[in-house]
């Protein structure tokens, strides 16, 4: 059975939040460093936004993380 879209987005958001929190970075700091709106970070972390791979790369770079840390199962 395929994984539901909502499950994937929620999982992605939780991973992003966990990585961000582990680095002691606020949503606003991440948004500023990645040159995105804070609301975008919030929506991704809440699982209500389906980001592009390019946006995920910006976030990963801002967090000094490998992109695969966000998209792995």
Rounded to two decimals, what is the model's pTM? Answer: 0.90
pLDDT value, residue 5? 72
Q: Which one of 1.10.260.40, 3.60.21.10, 3.40.50.11540, 3.90.870.40 gives the CATH number of domain 5-63?
A: 1.10.260.40
Sign of CA dihedral 20, 25, 26, 31: negative
Which pLDDT band holds residue 70 (cuts at 50, 70, 90)?
confident
Nearest to 71 by CA among 17, 4, 13: 13
Instruction: Write out the two tokens for 12.
Output: 């992605």
Q: Write down the domain spans for the chain.
A: 5-63
Predicted confidence (pLDDT) per residue in 2-13, tens digit:
467 789 899 999
Could you tell me the pLDDT band of residue 1, with boundaries at 50, 70 and 90? very low
Residues 19-62: tens digit of each pLDDT: 999 999 999 999 999 999 999 999 999 999 999 999 999 999 99
Q: What distance in Å separates the CA atoms of residue 61 and residue 34, rounded to the nearest whole number?
A: 7
């Amino acid at each position: 059975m395929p994984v539901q879209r909502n499950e994937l987005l929620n999982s992605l958001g939780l991973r992003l939040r966990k990585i961000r929190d582990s680095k002691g970075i606020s949503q606003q700091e991440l948004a500023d460093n990645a040159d995105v709106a804070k609301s975008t970070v919030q929506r991704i972390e809440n699982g209500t936004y389906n980001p592009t791979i390019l946006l995920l790369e910006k976030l990963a770079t801002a967090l000094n993380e490998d992109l695969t840390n966000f998209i792995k199962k």
